[in-house]
A and B are shown apart, each in its own frame.
Chain A
Amino acid sequence: MSSECLLPKPTHISILKNPYYDHHTTDRSTMKSVVVLHCFLGFILLLSHLNSVYSWKKEEFRNCNQTPFCKRARSRKPQHCNLIATDVIIADGDLTAKLITPKENPHEEDSSSNPLILSLSVYENGILRMKIDEDPSQNPPKKRFEVPDVIVPEFESKKLWLQRYTKQVIHGDSADSFVVYLFDGYEAVLRSDPLEVFVREQTSGKRVLSFNSHGLFDFEQLRVKKEGDDWEERFRSHTDSRPYGPQSISFDMSFYGADFVYGIPEHATSLTLKPTKGPGIEESEPYRLFNLDVFEYIHESPFGLYGSIPFMLSHGRTRGTSGFFWLNAAEMQIDVLGSGWDAESSIMLPSDQNRIDTLWMSEAGIVDTFFFIGPKPKDVVKQYASVTGTSAMPQLFATGYHQCRWNYRDEEDVKNVDSKFDEHDIPYDVLWLDIEHTDGKRYFTWDKVLFPNPEEMQKDLASRGRRMVTIVDPHIKRDENYHIHKEASKNGYYVKDASGKDYDGWCWPGSSSYIDMVNPEIRSWWADKFAYTQYLGSTPSLYIWNDMNEPSVFNGPEVTMPRDALHYGNIEHRELHNAYGYYFHMATSDGLLKREGGNDRPFVLSRAFFPGTQRYGTVWTGDNTATWEQLRVSVPMILTLGLTGITFSGADVGGFFGNPDTELLVRWYQVAAYLPFFRGHAHHDTKRREPWLFGEHNTELMRDAIRVRYTLLPYFYTLFREANVSGVPVTRPLWMEFPDDEATFNNDEAFMVGNGLLVQGVYTEHAKDATVYLPKDHTWYDLRSGTAYKGGKMQKIEASDAIPVFQRSGTIIPRKDRFRRSTVQMENDPYTLVIAVNSLGEAEGELYIDDGKSYEFKKGAYIHRRFIFSDGKLTSVNLATSASEGTNFLSDCTIERIILLGHSSKPKSAQIEPSNHAAEVELGPLQIQSGARSSVLTIRKPNVRVSDDWSIKLL
C-alpha cells in the first residue's frame, strides 16, 4: 500500500459520506471508481474509516485543560498541601481532627484558612472511612453535597466504635501520629504534620494505602463572592453561572504492593488502568468520570461514558489486593501516575517498587472515602459491597437471552420475530421495544397505530413464557396534554434551571423537562406511574428499560444538563450529576416493585450508573459499534463493572451502530453468551440481524451459542445468588481467581465465569484457533471435547466453530441440557452435573434454585446444595438455612446425568444412597448434539432429586 493510500484525503470521506452528494450519482460513482482504480486498498481503508468520520466529536467534550478545576489540580506540584492535623480526639467512636494551615504561613490567602474537619471511622472486615468537610460551625455559605441513598443502611451497624488511639512519632516528625486499630493485623494512621492518612500492616509496618503522601490534597472552600470575582465558566456556546464559585477537591492516593490498578468505570479501555501521566508516558487525559451520552464512542480512550464509579482496586503478587472508593457525585478526573512521576520532589515514601500513585480530582462535594484492605481480590469486592450493597437477585428470565432492536416496529413485527425464534428452535426470554413504540416519545403511552393492543401482545408472548421490556426515559415531553408533564409541572417535580424555572432541554420528544429524582417524594410519585392502572397497556410480564439517564440533553453542554441547574434542596446539578441516572433507575425499580406489592423482583436496565446501581438493576455499555475492537473492549468493560459492584452487565451483541460482518456477529454471540447480561440490540439504520438471517450454518452457530448459555443457566443463577450474597461478581478477571498467577494480572481477553469456567473470546477475523493462557496449578477440560489441558502455559485451541471454554479441575458445574423456548419451560427439566476432578480426585460445586421471580427466597424458600466429590463418592449437602414455616421451596427436579472428567478408574456402576439403588455407568457424550463423538464417563439416570440429601458411590 502506498503512503497516499494510507491516509485517504478527508475530502473523499466527506464526499462519500454526504448523503446529499449522492443525488449526483455520476459524480459519486466517478469518485468511487477513481478511488478504486487508483488505490483499491486505500478505498477499503477509507470505507472502514467512514464510521470514524461520524464518530465521537472530541471537541464537543471538555478536556482537562478546558476544565479549570482539573487544570488547576493537575498543575500542582507535590508538597502543595500545608495543612496539619490538630485537636485529634476520639468522638462518637471516630478519630477526629481539625485540619488547619499553620500560623507560620500568615501570608496565605485567608479564604481557604478556615479549618476543615477530618474524621476516621472503622468498620467491620477491614474498612476505613475518611471524611473531610468544612467546619459547619464556621458557617460556610452552603452545605456541601453529601450523596444520599448510596451507602446501605446496614453499613452503619458495622461500625467499630473506636475507644482509643496510640501516639507514635514517624520519620522523626515534629508532631505525633495517631494510630488506631483497623482489622486483625492492620491499623490506620493519621500523621498530623505533614498531613497523611494511611493503612499499614501492624507487624511489618508495610503500608497498604495512603492519602496525601505527596501533599497534593487541596480543598477549595466555599466563600462569599467578592466584588470583581468572575466565577462564570464558558465552554463553547454554554455558560455556567457557577454562583458558588470554585469548590473542587483533589488529593493523591497511593496503592502499595500493586502491580496494576483497576476499576473506575466507565471507560472503553483495557482492564488494567494505564498510567495517564509521568515520565515516558505520552501525555494523556486523566480518566474522566462524568456521565455522558457519547455518540459513537471509541475504544482505548479515557473519556467518560454513561456511568461513573469512583472505586479503584489495586492488585499485586506480593501484597494482594486493596481498594479505594470516593463517594462523590460531581465530575471527577483521575490520573494514574507513572512510576517516577514524583522524581523531582523530595518526598520520601517507603521504597516499595510496586507503589502506584494516583491523583483524584472532583469539582464539588466532600471527601467521603473508603479504604479497603483486602487482602484477597474477593475480600475487596466484598468490602466494597458492604458499603454500597450487593447486586439484586435477578429474575431467572433476565439471565436468559434478550432480543432488542431500535425498533420492532409494530405488533406484527413483534409476532413475527417471536415466531421465528420458535421456527429456528432458538430459546429467548425477552423481546424489547425501543422509543418508537410510544405515542410521540411520551413514555407510558403506546403508538395507537403500531401498537393498538399492547396487552394482548404481551399476553401472547407470555403464553410462551416470554416477557417484554419497554423503554422509559427521564426526559418528559413538554406537552400540556401529556399527563406526566401536567402532573410534574403542576407539582414542581422538574429540575430547575439556574433562574429557578423548569429546566427545558431537548431530547427525543423535542422540548423536554427532567424529573428531579433526587427527591424521595418525587421518586415515590414516579414509582406509582408503573401501576397497571397508571401505565395503561402494561401487564405483569412487562419490564422496563431506562435510557438517556446521564441525563442526555441534546442541546445541553456536552450533551447533558447544565451544571448550574438546580435540584431539590438547592443542590446544584454539578454536585450530583453522576448520580442523577442512579436515582432515576432507583425510582423505576421501586415502581416495578410497588406494582406487584413488593414480591416480584424488578428488572430495569439502565445506561447511566453510580455506586449502588447494582441494587436496582442491570446496566449495559451503551451505544457501542459493530467492530472487532468494540467486541474486544466489551470484555474488560464488563469485567470492570463486575469488579466495581455491577455484575449484571453486558454489551449490545453485534454492536449498536453499524452492520457487523456475519463472522463478527457470530463471535459476538459466542462471547456474550458467557457474559452476565445477554442482549442483541441494533440501531434503526442497521440491517436486521436476528440470528436466523445469515444462512443455515451461521444460524446454527448462533443458536449453539445461545443454547450453551441456556444449558449453563443453573450455574449462572447460582453465581448470581453468590453475587447477591457476597458481592463477588458472576464474571471475573482471571486474577480474581488466580491472584498468585502473575500471567493473569493484565489478561482481559479471557475471563472466569464463577470459579469453574474459563472463557477465551475470539476477537479477530478468520481465526481458526485461539491462543489461551490457562492458569497454573490446574488442569483444564475443554467444554466441548472434554480434552484435558495442563495449566501454566499458553495453549493453542481449535476455535473455528466455537470459542475456547474450559472447566477448571476441582469443580462441579450444574447444567440443564434440554433446550426450551425460554427459561419458563425449563423449570421442571432434569439436571446434568459435570464433575472435573483435580489431582487429588476431588471436586466441589454448588447449585442454587428458587422460584426465579419472587422474594420468597429471602424467607428461606430456596434450595442450595453443595456437591462434594471425593474418594469416588459424590455427596449432596444442604447449604440452605432452614426456612421459616410454610415457605419451603419445593422442586421435583432430578439429576438425569452425571459426567466425570479426569476420573482415573473405570467404574461399571454406581450405588445410590439412601434409596439403595444402582445406576449404570457408561461412556457418553459431554454435550448432546448430533455428531458428538466425545466419550466421557457418565452415570446414567441416577434420578436423585436435587432437593434431597444423597450420595452416589462409584463401584
Chain B
Amino acid sequence: MKIHTPIFVFFVLSSAFVLRSAAFPSNYLLGVAPEDEIYYKGLWSSGTIKCKDGSKTFTKAQLNDDFCDCFDGTDEPGTSACPTGKFYCRNVGHSPVSIFSSRINDGICDCCDGSDEYDGKNRCKNTCWEAGKVARDRLMKEIATFQEGVAIREHEVEEVKISAANDEAELSRLKNEEKILKGIVEQLKEHKEQIEKAVEKERIQKEQEEKQKKEAEESESKEHKDEDKVDGAEQEPAESTDEDKARIFDNPPPPGQNLKEDPAEPAVEVVHNAHASLDIGEEHAAQEEERSEVAHVSDPNTALGSKGEDATKDIDSLSREELGREIGSRWTGKKPEQQHNDVDDLKNNDETSVNVHDEENDGYDTETDEYDHQHYEEDDAQYQMDNVGDEANDDSSSSYKYEPDEEVDMSDIESTSSPSWFETIQRIVRKFLQAVNPFQTPVDTSEAENVRKEYDEASGKLSKIRSRISHLKKKLGNDFGPEKEFYSLYGQCFESKQNKYVYKVCPFKEATQEEGYSTTRLGQWEKFEESYSVMLFSNGDKCWNGPDRSLKVKLRCGSKVEVADVDEPSRCEYEAMLTAPALCLEGKLKELEHELEALNKEQPQFHDEL
C-alpha cells in the first residue's frame, strides 16, 4: 500500500481545521485532535520530537509516513500503521470522535465526515449534517425529558419528606399503642384464664355431682363437652385454624364428626373467625407458601423433571419418546416435559399449570381494603399517570400498585379514620375488669363470654398493630436513596410485555416473569448498585444447571416510571431498564445543555460553508 500525499488534499474540507493549524501544513496533522496540535509544534521548530510514551524520537518526515515508529502511535495519528493509535475526526456539524487507527482506510466509513477513508478506494459521503441533526434532536428530546423530570423529582422529594414523616409518626404512635394494648391484653388474658379455671372447677364439681346421680341428665354433660372443644381450639389458635382448613381441604371429616351437625357449631365458628383475622399477616404468608407449593406440585414439569434428575434412574424403562426427551434434556437443560412443550410449539400449554395468576389476584382482592387504598393514593397521586408510551414500542409497559404481603386490614384501628377507638377499648376493658369477678361462684357465664370476646378483640387488634408496625419498620428500613427519591416506588409494580412474557418489576420487593399462567421469580429485592443507577434483584428461581435467576434494572431519567427493554443476556441473568424522575438530576441536565450548546456552536459555521 502506498500513501500519496496528494490524496490528503481532497478531505481537507474544514476551514476551522486549516485556520487552527495555520502554523504548519495541515495535511501533516491528519488525525490529530485540536488539543494535541501543540504537541507536534516541536516538529517544525526543532525537527524532532519525542513519542508521547517517551520511547523514541521521530522526525517531521516520519510523521504520518505510514510506518510506525512510536509504539504508542504518536507519529502516525493519521494512518493505520500503529495499531495502538487513534484518529481524530472533526465531524463538523456533529460531534468529533477519536477512532481506532484500525479503521483508517479499511473501506468502511466510520467518521461522518468521511475523513477516515482517504486512500481513494472508498468514497464516503459527509453525513455529519444529518447525523448531527439526529443527535441534536435526540439531545434536545433528552433535555426536555430531564427538564420535566427534574421538576417532578423536586416536587416528589418534597412530598416524600411528608409521607416519610407521616410514616415515622404513625410508627411511633403505633409503638406506643402497642405497649398499652399489650398490657390490656395481658390483663384480659389473666382474667379470662381465671374465669376458665372457675368454669372448669364448676364443671368438675358438677361432674362429680352427676356421677353421683349416675343415670340421668346425659344431655347436660354433652353441652360441657362441646365447651371443651371450644377451649381446645382456643389454646392453639393459628395452627389449628390452618390445620383445620387443610384437613377440610384434603379429606372431609367423617359425617359423624362433621362440625356442622354439631349443636355448638356457631360458637366454634365465631372463635374460628376471630382467629382468622387475628393473624392475618402470618396467615397470608402461609397461604402464599401454600400457593407456591401448590404451583410447584401441580406443575407437571416438576413431577416429571424430578424423575429426570434421578441419576440412578433406569432410562431403559422409558418409552421411545420419553427416552428421546430424556436424553435430549441433558443438553437443553430442560426437563423433558418442558421440551415437550417446546416441541409442540408452546401452543397448548394452557393445560400445563394451574391458574396461579388468577389465584393470586383473588388473594389480593380479598386483602384489598380501604386503608391500603387511602394510604397509597395519598403518596402516589402524582404517579397515577396514563401508561401510553410516547415512543413507538411494540412492547407495552404499565404500572400498578401491589398490596404488600404484610399489609393488614387496619380499617378498624386506623387512627385517622377512627380516633376514638383506642380510648373506647381502654374504657370498656377497665369496666370489664371491674365488673367481672372470677372468684365469684357460680360464674356469671354471660360475663365470662364477654370477657372472652373482649380478649379476642383486643388481642386481634394487638396483632394487627404489630403487623402494621413490622410493615412500617420494614418499609422505613429500606434505602430509598440519598434524598429518599425512590420512596414513592415502594408498594408499586411496573410491567412490561415482551413477546410472550410479561415482566413485572416491584422495587423493594421482587421481580417476576409471567408467561401465560406460570410465574417465574427473577429475583427478590436486594439493593441499589452503582450509586443508585441500578436496582438489583437476586436469588430468584433456580435455573436448571445454572445460577439462581437475577435481574439488574438499569435506571434512567424519565418523567414517568416505566420498565422497558427486558433482556436475558446470559442464561437466567436478566437486565431491564426503568425510567423514573428520581434519576433526573439537575447536574446531568446542565451537562446535557452544555453538550447541546457545543453542538450548536459548530453547526452554523458548517452550515455557512455549505
The minimal Cβ–Cβ distance linking A273 to chain B, given in whole angstroms, is 29
Given contacts A14-B311, A465-B107, A821-B102, 4 further A-B contacts (CB under 8 A): A554-B324, A554-B325, A555-B321, A685-B571
Q: Is the CB of A687 within 8 A of B330?
A: no
**Inside 8 A of A559's CB, which chain B residues have their CB?**
327
Does B345 lie at the interface of the complex (its beta carbon under 8 Å from any beta carbon of A)?
A: yes
**Inside 8 A of B83's CB, which chain A residues have their CB?**
707, 817-819, 928-929
The minimal Cβ–Cβ distance linking B268 to chain A, given in whole angstroms, is 34
A-B contact pairs, 7 of them (CB 8 A): A20-B306, A440-B345, A463-B108, A506-B324, A684-B333, A818-B102, A941-B65
Interface residues contributed by chain B, number (CB under 8 Å): 66
Q: Which of B139-147, B359-367, B411-419, B537-545 binds A?
A: B537-545
Does B100 lie at the interface of the complex (its beta carbon under 8 Å from any beta carbon of A)?
A: yes
Q: Is the CB of B84 within 8 A of A509?
A: no
**Inside 8 A of A819's CB, which chain B residues have their CB?**
83, 102
Does B106 lie at the interface of the complex (its beta carbon under 8 Å from any beta carbon of A)?
A: yes
Q: Which of B18-26, B66-74, B348-356 binds A?
A: B66-74
Does A695 lie at the interface of the complex (its beta carbon under 8 Å from any beta carbon of B)?
A: no
Give A376 to B302 CA distance when docked, in angstroms. Answer: 61
List the interface of chain A (C-beta within 8 A of B).
Answer: 14, 17-20, 22-23, 53-54, 60, 236-237, 295-296, 409, 413, 425, 427, 440, 449, 463-465, 505-511, 553-555, 559, 623, 683-688, 707, 817-821, 824-825, 828-830, 892-894, 896-897, 924-925, 928-933, 940-941, 943
The minimal Cβ–Cβ distance linking B293 to chain A, given in whole angstroms, is 8
Q: Is the CB of A18 within 8 A of B499?
A: no
The minimal Cβ–Cβ distance linking B572 to chain A, given in whole angstroms, is 8
Q: Is the CB of A20 within 8 A of B309?
A: yes
Q: Is the interface of A mostly helix, strand, loop or mixed?
A: loop
Q: B298-333 vs A: 1/0 string, CB under 8 Å? A: 000010011001110001111011111111101111
Give A688 to B570 CA distance when docked, in angstroms. Answer: 5
Q: Is the CB of A685 within 8 A of B328?
A: no
Determine which of A553, A892, A897, A931 lies in contact with B53 in the assembled complex, contact meaning CB atoms within 8 Å.
A931
**Inside 8 A of A830's CB, which chain B residues have their CB?**
1
Q: Is the CB of B106 within 8 A of A506?
A: no
Q: Is the CB of B108 within 8 A of A821?
A: yes
Q: Is the CB of B102 within 8 A of A894?
A: no
Residue of A nearest to B52 (CB): A930
The minimal Cβ–Cβ distance linking B110 to chain A, given in whole angstroms, is 9
**Inside 8 A of A707's CB, which chain B residues have their CB?**
83
Does B546 lie at the interface of the complex (its beta carbon under 8 Å from any beta carbon of A)?
A: yes
Q: B379-390 vs A: 1/0 string, CB under 8 Å? A: 000000000000
Q: Is the CB of A425 within 8 A of B55?
A: no
Tell me which of B302, B315, B344 has the highest count of chain A C-beta atoms within 10 A of its own C-beta: B315
**Inside 8 A of B106's CB, which chain A residues have their CB?**
820-821, 825
Q: Is the CB of B323 within 8 A of A685?
A: no
**Inside 8 A of A20's CB, which chain B residues have their CB?**
302, 305-306, 309
Residue of A nearest to B570 (CB): A688
**Inside 8 A of A413's CB, which chain B residues have their CB?**
569
Q: B97-112 vs A: 1/0 string, CB under 8 Å? A: 0001011011110000
The minimal Cβ–Cβ distance linking B76 to chain A, given in whole angstroms, is 10
The minimal Cβ–Cβ distance linking B402 to chain A, given in whole angstroms, is 23
Residue of A nearest to B343 (CB): A510
Q: Is the CB of B108 within 8 A of A555?
A: no
The minimal Cβ–Cβ distance linking B382 to chain A, given in whole angstroms, is 34
Give A420 to B320 CA distance when docked, in angstroms. Answer: 44
Q: Is the CB of B306 within 8 A of A555?
A: no
Does B553 lie at the interface of the complex (its beta carbon under 8 Å from any beta carbon of A)?
A: no
Does B512 lie at the interface of the complex (its beta carbon under 8 Å from any beta carbon of A)?
A: no
**Inside 8 A of A60's CB, which chain B residues have their CB?**
315
Give A777 to B560 CA distance when docked, in angstroms. Answer: 75
The minimal Cβ–Cβ distance linking B406 to chain A, given in whole angstroms, is 20
Determine which of B1, B65, B309 lies in contact with A829 in the assembled complex, contact meaning CB atoms within 8 Å.
B1
Give A940 to B68 CA distance when docked, in angstroms. Answer: 10
The minimal Cβ–Cβ distance linking A265 to chain B, given in whole angstroms, is 22
Tell me which of B1, B68, B321, B326 has the highest count of chain A C-beta atoms within 10 A of its own C-beta: B1
Q: List the 9 closest pairs (A to B, CB-CB), nearest first.
A: A506-B324, A555-B324, A825-B106, A510-B343, A554-B327, A237-B316, A555-B323, A554-B324, A688-B570
Question: Given contacts A440-B345, A829-B80, are A54 and B330 in contact (CB under 8 A)?
Answer: yes
Residue of B nearest to A18 (CB): B309
Tell me which of B107, B323, B331 has the highest count of chain A C-beta atoms within 10 A of its own C-beta: B331
The minimal Cβ–Cβ distance linking B333 to chain A, given in whole angstroms, is 5
Q: B71-101 vs A: 1/0 string, CB under 8 Å? A: 1110000001111100000000000000010
Interface residues of B in 232-291 (CB under 8 A from A): none
**Inside 8 A of A892's CB, which chain B residues have their CB?**
1-2
Q: Is the CB of B80 within 8 A of A19?
A: no
Residue of A nearest to B56 (CB): A924
**Inside 8 A of B80's CB, which chain A residues have their CB?**
818, 820, 829
Tell me which of A236, A820, A897, A932 has the highest count of chain B C-beta atoms within 10 A of its own C-beta: A820
Q: Is the CB of B321 within 8 A of A511?
A: yes
Q: Is the CB of B71 within 8 A of A932?
A: yes
**Inside 8 A of A553's CB, which chain B residues have their CB?**
324
Residue of B nearest to A932 (CB): B71
Question: Given contacts A685-B544, A933-B55, are A925 and B71 in contact (CB under 8 A)?
Answer: yes
Determine which of B1, B65, B320 lies in contact with A828 in the assembled complex, contact meaning CB atoms within 8 Å.
B1
Q: Is the CB of A929 within 8 A of B328?
A: no
**Inside 8 A of B499's CB, which chain A residues have their CB?**
449
Tell me which of A53, A505, A932 has the highest count of chain B C-beta atoms within 10 A of its own C-beta: A932
The minimal Cβ–Cβ distance linking B55 to chain A, given in whole angstroms, is 7
The minimal Cβ–Cβ distance linking A525 to chain B, given in whole angstroms, is 26
Q: Is the CB of B323 within 8 A of A554?
A: yes
**Inside 8 A of B53's CB, which chain A residues have their CB?**
930-931
